[in-house]
Amino acid sequence: MAKIPGLPPLDGLRKEIAKHRRAKSRSEAGHFVRETFCLSREEARAKAKEWFDAFPKAAYWTEVESWRQLDGDRIEFTMRRLPSAD
């Protein structure tokens, strides 16, 4: 960017804004624990059941956040839960 005579440089302000945005996005992402898997269909079912058994939906809000079927009968999915039941 071109500097305008008589105005202070904005590099410091740009760095602070970028730092604030990075910190904010990290804090918002911290509300849930997410883990993504890519497994065969049967292994995917077993892994999801494992999560629901270990982290009951009523206490941890556990859910399959997203999933898709890939070639070769593989499933890519993301599990999501709260970090604690408190």
The reply to whether 42 falls in a domain is: yes
Residues in Cβ contact with 39 at an 8 Å cutoff, skipping those fewer than 6 apart: 47, 74, 75
Q: How are beta strands 33-40 and 63-70 bridged, if at all?
A: unpaired
| Within a domain: 21 | no
- Tens digits of per-residue pLDDT, 22-60? 776 555 556 899 999 999 999 999 999 999 999 999 999
For residue 69 the two structure tokens come to 């079927």
Alpha-carbon distances, residue 59 vs 20, 29, 71 (angstroms): 32, 19, 35
The answer to whether the predicted template modeling score (pTM) of the entire model surpasses 0.75 is no
Across the range 8-32, mean pLDDT stands at 73
Q: Which domain holds residue 40?
A: 32-86
CATH number at residue 44: 3.30.30
Domain assignment present for 6: no
Q: Coil, strand or helix: which one is 16?
A: helix
Number of domains in the chain: 1
